[in-house]
Amino acid sequence: MLDKCIDNLKDEIIKETCNLINFPSVSEETSDPNMPFGKHAKDALEYALDLGQKLGFRTKNIDGYCGYIEFGEGEKLVGIIGHLDVVPSGDGWLTPPFEATIKDGNIYGRGAIDDKGPVVASLYAMKAIKDNIKINSRVRLILGINEEKSWNCIRHYNEIEEAPTIGFSPDADFPCIYAEKGIATVYIKDNYQKYSNLPIIIKEIDCNNNAINVVPKYCKVILSVDTSRIDLNEITPFLSNEIKKLNFDITYSVNNSNIELISNGVQAHSAHPDLGINAISRMIILLNKIFKNFNCPISILDFFENYIGTEFNGKSLDINFSDESGNLTLNVGKFSFYDNFLQIGINLRIPVNTPIEKVTDSISEICNKYSLETVVSGIQQPLYVPKDDPLVKTLCDIFNKRNHSNYEPIAIGGGTYARAFKNCVSFGANFPGDTDMCHQANEFINIDKLILACKIYADAIYELSK
């Protein structure tokens, strides 16, 4: 009965997934109380809530921070927690990132898998249950619009709204996630004013406003050279030889006394830095070699090459911890000027049994030797629910029964809204064996798997509502 209902809704599910993708809902934190995360995020939220209302659900916009779509009655509240904001589109797209494109059985566009497609699948799973089965619980789809930044949306929800009794976030992988690593961002800062008299100065840094949780694919730096002190004819052959030795995809051009350097990489989710090529890391290594060769070392650059470089496991920092949830990962996501400081931002995914402070304190201790300042932000404590917990077992059983499989629950480095609530885990919508397209160019969701995910979510709503 539920399967047939969802099959009949297939065209609607595809259409509404496309409609949501068409909102360029990159979260932008503002001082406007009517749109705390920017107009595009606000518009996406309002569209989703209006859709929920048209489908016969109760809806609530929670002060522009987030909202929910709900049906049913009873004391028990089954929560489904998703988000409508997305990371910036980035380069390398073969289709317009904010114009959904259907091709070869897939829907392409930023947010297709993270998290707009799964949100729509969850909404129509709720509709299938609402229209066909009487349940004795409330079911609430909670929609955040600041997940890719600071999670202030879900913090606001927790301050004033009811927490789910039990639930899941459709923002990761099937069959079920039992552990999510801890997350922290560390900003390393060096007062750049003390380098103002060097014969080579970093004049401009542009990394396309890369998100901290994305492996950057682009970094441009413009150097200004005091040609009365350094001959450009000495720098250019050094650059050519050094880039060749490093084997980095970095180009340069000279315009009067300025040198423009462009580093190219491969974008990926920061939870999987091994799947990308970090343009910022390679740029910083080259910069350090330039400044050191011409006797004007910069502390933060030297620290970086010695203790981070192109590593993504923290080995040189002596923080390469590991447990059943996996290895620590490190992504260099920011390189910028900030209030007269030269700043590098690193995003860490920390195994569940390692205290976050143990990692951040270790980094700060090494930075102190270089007279560098560290600022820790964006801490998210890990999520861990035992594999034999009834919620994990129920969701895994639902997936395996539907797919005639025998998959075990898994651990991930990504962070989902599941960790914002007790008795919640993440559940789909990536299927085993799928390429993780989160935060990557040409992000897509397969239509057949989108519909199958909707059916799996309907099964889960029914079971969790008992």
In sequence order, what are the beta bridge partners of 191?
341
CA angle 349, 214, 454 (to 5 degrees): 85
| 339 flagged as catalytic | no
213 touches 348 (CB < 8 A): no
- What's the one-letter identity of residue 149? K
Sequence length of the chain is 466
> From CA 105, how far away is CA 151, in angstroms rounded?
33
Would you state the pLDDT for residue 72?
A: 97
User: Cβ neighbours of residue 4 under 8 Å, at least 6 residues apart?
Assistant: none
pLDDT digits (tens, 9 = 90+) for 32-67: 999 999 999 999 999 999 999 999 999 999 999 999
Percent of the chain with pLDDT over 70: 100
> From CA 138, how far away is CA 68, in angstroms rounded?
12
pLDDT digits (tens, 9 = 90+) for 83-111: 999 999 988 899 999 999 999 999 999 99
Which H or E run includes 142?
strand 138-144
Instruction: Kindly list the structural domains of the chain, giving each domain's residue range(s) and its CATH number in brackets, ordered by start.
Output: 2-180+383-464 (3.40.630.10), 183-380 (3.30.70.360)
| 260 flagged as catalytic | no
Tokens of 55: 């489908």
Q: What is the DSSP letter of 161?
A: S
Distances (CA, A) of 225 to 219, 254, 256, 284, 408: 19, 10, 9, 17, 58
Q: What is the pTM of this model?
A: 0.87
Which entry of 85, 148, 180, 305 is annotated as an active-site residue?
A: 85
90 φ/ψ sector (left φ>0, alpha ψ -120 to 50, else beta): left
Over the chain, what is the mean pLDDT?
96
Would you state the pLDDT for residue 379?
A: 93
Would you state the pLDDT for residue 338?
A: 86
Would you state the pLDDT for residue 337?
A: 92
Which entry of 70, 114, 115, 147 is annotated as an active-site residue?
A: 147
Would you state the pLDDT for residue 415?
A: 87
Would you state the pLDDT for residue 348?
A: 97
pLDDT digits (tens, 9 = 90+) for 177-227: 999 999 999 999 999 989 989 999 999 999 998 989 999 999 999 999 999
Largest CA distance in the chain: 82
> From CA 95, how far away is CA 109, in angstroms rounded?
8
Q: What is the DSSP letter of 353?
A: T
Residues of the chain below pLDDT 50: none
Would you state the pLDDT for residue 354?
A: 97
Would you state the pLDDT for residue 94?
A: 96
> From CA 402, how far away is CA 323, in angstroms rounded?
31
Which H or E run includes 53?
helix 39-54
